[in-house]
C-alpha cells in the first residue's frame, strides 16, 4: 500500500523546494498507516534545480561532513568538490597526491528522528569508491545505511551491488575508534531487470518507522526490513537516536588494504569520478 503526498511546510519549517519538485508525482512506497498521509518536510527535501549551490542546498543541507572526521582511507572530505549542475548535485572525487584524494560530501544541518521516510534519486559513481546515502547519530554510535554501492566492485571492472544495513558501535571514549560493531552484515541487491547500478539513476529509500523497525526501498520496491529480532543493541534501545543524513563518496579503508582504490586516471575521468543526486525527499506520516 502506498500513500499520497501532501506538499506543505512541516513543523513550522520554511521550505525552499520548487512549486513542483521533481519527485512530486511519485507516491511514497511505504505505508503511512491507517488514516494517515505522507507530508513532505520541505527543510530537508531538495531537488537541486537552482543554479547556485548554496541556494540549492537551502537551510537543510551543507556541503561538508557532520563533524571533524576527514574521511575513510585516503579520502578527505572537501566542500570544494561538490557543485550543482543541470538540476543535479554532483559529488566529485579528485586526485590530491599519492596518499590522498578529495571527496565531495553533503549533510543535513539538523538531525531527524522516527517516524520518517527518506529517499534519494542517485546515480552512483562508476569507480571503485563507495557512493552512499546514510544517516548517522551525532555521537557516531548509530548508523543507517540506506545505500552503499561500489559502482565498480573490483579492479576487474565487475559491477557492484547496492547494500542496505545498520550499525550500532561501541567506541573508545578518547579516540572515537570503533571497539565493536553490533550491526549485521549488509544485504546486497542488484537492479531489477539486470544491468548495473552505475548505468543510470535509481531511487534508494528507507522508512525509519520506529526504534525497532526500518524498511528499505530500492526503486520503490521493499527489499529489506529490520525488526526487533534483527537489531542487535546491547543497550536495548534500538535505533532511537536522532540522526543526520549524509550523501558522500568514500574510499573504504578495508578495500584500500586489499589494493582496491581509485587510480589517478579514474579520479581524473569525469565519467567515473563523481556521483549524481537528482533529489532528496523527506516525508513524515501525519
Tell me how many degrees the CA angle 265-266-269 measures, rounded to the nearest 5: 85
Listed residue (38, 37, 36, 56) closest to 46, CA to CA: 56
Tell me how many degrees the CA angle 207-211-217 measures, rounded to the nearest 5: 20
Q: How many residues does the chain have?
A: 286
Rounded Cα distance, 232 and 225, in Å = 14
Strands 221-226, 142-150: pairing is unpaired
Rounded Cα distance, 262 and 250, in Å = 11
Catalytically annotated residue among 90, 119, 143, 215: 143
Backbone angles phi, psi at 77, to 5 degrees: -70, 140
Catalytically annotated residue among 42, 90, 148, 215: 148
- Let me know if 148 is a catalytic residue: yes
Name the 3-class secondary structure at 273: coil
Q: Which residues are catalytic?
A: 143, 148
Amino acid at each position: 500500500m502506498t500513500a499520497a503526498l501532501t506538499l506543505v511546510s512541516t513543523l513550522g519549517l520554511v521550505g525552499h523546494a520548487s512549486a513542483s519538485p521533481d519527485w512530486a508525482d511519485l507516491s511514497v512506497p511505504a505505508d503511512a498507516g491507517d488514516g494517515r498521509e505522507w507530508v513532505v518536510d520541505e527543510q530537508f527535501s531538495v531537488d537541486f534545480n537552482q543554479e547556485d549551490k548554496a541556494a540549492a542546498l537551502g537551510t537543510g543541507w551543507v556541503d561538508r561532513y557532520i563533524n571533524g572526521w576527514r574521511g575513510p582511507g585516503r579520502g578527505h572530505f572537501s566542500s570544494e568538490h561538490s557543485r550543482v549542475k543541470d538540476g543535479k548535485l554532483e559529488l566529485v572525487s579528485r586526485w590530491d597526491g599519492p596518499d590522498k584524494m578529495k571527496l565531495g560530501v553533503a549533510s543535513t544541518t539538523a538531525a531527524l528522528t522516527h517516524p520518517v521516510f527518506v529517499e534519494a534519486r542517485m546515480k552512483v559513481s562508476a569507480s571503485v569508491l563507495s557512493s552512499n546515502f546514510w544517516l548517522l547519530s551525532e555521537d557516531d554510535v548509530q548508523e543507517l545505511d540506506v545505500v552503499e554501492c561500489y559502482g565498480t566492485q573490483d579492479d576487474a571492472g565487475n559491477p557492484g551491488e547496492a547494500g542496505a544495513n545498520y550499525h550500532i558501535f561501541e567506541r573508545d571514549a578518547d579516540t572515537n575508534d570503533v571497539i565493536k560493531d553490533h550491526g549485521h552484515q549488509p544485504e546486497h541487491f542488484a537492479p531489477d531487470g539486470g544491468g548495473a547500478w552505475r548505468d543510470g539513476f535509481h531511487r534508494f529509500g528507507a522508512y525509519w518507522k520506529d526504534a525497532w523497525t526500518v524498511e528499505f526501498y530500492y526503486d520503490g520496491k521493499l527489499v529489506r526490513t529490520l525488526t526487533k529480532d534483527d537489531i542487535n543493541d546491547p543497550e536495548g534501545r534500538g535505533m532511537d537516536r536522532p540522526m543526520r543524513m549524509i550523501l558522500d563518496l568514500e574510499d573504504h579503508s578495508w578495500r584500500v588494504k586489499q589494493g582496491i582504490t581509485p587510480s589517478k586516471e579514474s579520479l581524473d575521468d569525469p565519467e567515473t569520478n563523481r556521483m549524481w543526486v537528482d533529489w532528496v525527499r523527506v516525508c513524515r506520516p501525519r
